[in-house]
Amino acid sequence: MLNSLIGIIASSGGAAVVPNSYESIATVTVGGGGASSIAFASIPSTYTHLQIRGIARSSTASSGIVPIYAQINSVSTNQTSHFLYGDGSGVSSTASTNANLIYLGYIGQDSTTATSYGAAVIDVLDYADTNKYKTFRSLAGTDLNGSGRVGLFSGFLYANTNAISNITLYANAGGDAFKQYSSFALYGIKG
């Protein structure tokens, strides 16, 4: 079950990628001062797909949730997101088009639950293929002391076929900071 949740389906042939084909590229853990963003730069183009796994919370002293966003290669146009989420009492779906950032999940704010961190698994498909637009998909959610939100997300970088070499993550589109101990790991997936 876990392998099917965190596994990725290869775009060519539809075969599931074997879990031991993941290679660690970089890990960022936020220190005591928090971090306004988390960046993965100079990503090598030697893999078929990428995956980002993370746990995080916002350092803002409020109770609620905020979204996780990604900026790709410093591009700030033509990004689209679709998402479906549930909060225990209902289900919602929505989309954003021609946005500056790609919407990829939720984390809790600092006053919500003192030790609860949201989690996300983000797949970046065919990131180095210069013949197609880039696709992201994410499973993410956070607990708010018995309530919370979990969702499925997809994002697209349109009109841009450049290989992805830089991914920057933001809490609440840069309006919040990531709290200490938030951590994101980038993996390369062999073809």
Residues 31-71 have pLDDT tens digits of: 999 999 999 999 999 999 999 999 999 888 777 888 899 99
Residues 146-168 have pLDDT tens digits of 788 899 999 987 778 999 999 99
Region 116-135: mean pLDDT is: 93
Predicted pLDDT at 159: 76
Nearest to 119, CA basis, from 132, 107, 109, 133: 107
Residue 18 pLDDT grade (very low, low, confident, very high; cuts 50, 70, 90): low
- φ, ψ dihedrals at 173, nearest 5°: 55, 35
The better pLDDT of the pair 7, 62 is held by: 62
Percent of the chain with pLDDT over 90: 54
Domain boundaries, the chain: 2-189
* CA separation for the pair 85, 186 (Å, rounded): 24
